[in-house]
Amino acid sequence: MRQARPNTEQDSESKAPLYPDLLFPEDLHPPENFALVSPFIYRSGMPKKRNFSFLAKKLKLRSILTLILEEYPVQNQKFLAENNIHLFQFGVAGNKEPFADIPEDVMTEALVVLLDRRNHPILVHCNKGKHRTGCLIGCLRKLMEWSNTSIFDEYRRYSAPKSRSMDQQFIELFDVGPVIERVDPRFLPRWPTINSLAASGPS
């Protein structure tokens, strides 16, 4: 299920906190493996019912991007509908060598959604917020011109204790060119590296 982005060009960033307070009230529980990726982009494992208030009240999410293959849980779908949160689903199998490879075209599509600030604030997740999420965020970091060392350090931090060499190889070899060709420069996040890449085009 890959849904189109909302039919609005309103910039939603002003409605959400730039860096949500890390000291959460007792009734607000972040999902497993939750972290801030960049302003208005977050990552985690699969949100559970106890996390819903945090997502709606603290993060004020506009979108969720999930990488799970399975149908999205019914209670989660209900929560999204009640809070006008848009769902983007890009089903990806875990990169458990040697049985499955991550499809590069699916990651490209997911990154185009992630780089459109009309979809922000946005949460990226898979089941545990480790491997598939780590691959997508690693590819995003390439677009942000991070070094491989920094990208892999971040990947291992969230995938511990079972980091996958195939995931890191995928990130290293991922071609950002098709992403740059497809993004709309008008709605890119306000990150200097992203905007300079889009202006210069793929190398």
Could you list the active site residues?
A: 126
Summarize the chain as % helix, strand, coil (round to 5): 45, 10, 45
Please list the residues that pair with 35 across neighbouring strands.
Answer: 43
CA dist., res. 23 & res. 107, Å (int): 33
Residue matched to tokens 């689903």: 89
CA dist., res. 13 & res. 120, Å (int): 6
Task: Say how many C-beta atoms besides its own lie within 10 A of residue 166's C-beta.
Answer: 18
CA dist., res. 188 & res. 194, Å (int): 7
Sheet holding 122-125, edge to edge: 35-38, 41-44, 122-125, 63-66, 86-89
